Amino acid sequence: MQIKNLYRKMAKVLKQREQTVIELRYGLENGGCKTQREIAKLLGISRSYVSRIEKKALSKLKKAFNNLKEDPK
């Protein structure tokens, strides 16, 4: 149930690229975690940009889950 909630939140609050980075970085798609460098190579962007995308996406998810705890609808 928590995994479904995570995917729902990801789809709702993250842009497609952010969602892709999080899925690859934490192995949500196939269970295999990738490094920022591997993700950068796959997406054709710099490693530092992957880092910024990841940081922003995690911040958005944290905020979304914190709002969920405060507003138990």
Percent of the chain scored above 70 by pLDDT? Answer: 90
- Give the chain's domain count: 1
Residue-wise burial string across 1-37, b where 16 or more C-beta atoms lie within 10 A, e elsewhere: eeeeeeeebbeebbeeebbbbbbbbeeeeeeeebebe
**pLDDT, tens digit, for every residue of 54-73?**
999 999 999 998 886 665 55
pTM of the model: 0.85
Confidence (pLDDT) at 70: 66
Q: What is the CATH number for 66?
A: 1.10.10.10
Confidence (pLDDT) at 49: 98
Range of the domain at 35: 2-70
User: Please, where are the H alpha helices in the chain?
Assistant: 2-13, 16-25, 36-43, 47-70
